[in-house]
Amino acid sequence: MAEYSREPCPFRIIEDCGGAFAMGALGGGAFQAIKGYRNAPAGLKHRLSGGFAAVRARSGLVGGNFAVWGATFSAIDCTLVYYRKKEDPWNAIISGAATGGILAARTGLTSMLSSALVGGVLLALIEGVGIAVAHYSADSYRQVSPVERQEIYRQQQNDFYPFGADYAEADPSSL
């Protein structure tokens, strides 16, 4: 299962790092704006300036944390693609687990193992949903022969016009 819309592996790391930074900075900026607005003193002027100050102070940090996660995940994913010689959902699941473990390594072995478990489970859920959506939407992309298409059209006409298609095309004054 090859993903043709993605960059090749060395450039994928930089692309994912930048995308994760942008997502973290924008999402973190929105969250920090709300948080700063709520924690500011009363008055619209104070609340707006509190929201902007919180965005300036924290959105870059959140974006940086997302960028580290994205770069680590992509580096492990590319390493697995290189060694396994295939791209499949297992690469993402293993990469999520390893990333969770690596980023929690400084807090101890127990935290590292629990973060690795959470990372692996989250990526397994994401990959599972992606596979399910692809499976259920694949039927709409299958090729249909002209004969089968005509039969489907006739069946839809019969379902829509219970008295037949001739009745629908009849002149209303003759009824």
Contact by Cβ (8 Å): 28, 63 = yes
How far is Cα 120 from Cα 117, in angstroms, rounded to an integer?
A: 5
User: What pLDDT, in 10s, does the model give residues 104-126?
Assistant: 999 999 999 999 999 999 999 99
User: What pLDDT, in 10s, does the model give residues 2-59?
Assistant: 555 677 888 899 999 999 999 999 999 999 999 999 998 999 999 999 999 999 999 9
**What is the number of other CB atoms lying within 10 angstroms of the CB of residue 25?**
20
DSSP assignment letter at 104: T
The domain locations on the chain are 1-87, 97-142, 145-175
Note if the pTM is more than 0.75: no
Tell me what the mean pLDDT of segment 120-149 comes to: 85
Alpha-helical (H) ranges within the chain are 9-39, 44-84, 89-103, 109-137, 146-160, 165-169
Rg over CA atoms, the chain: 27
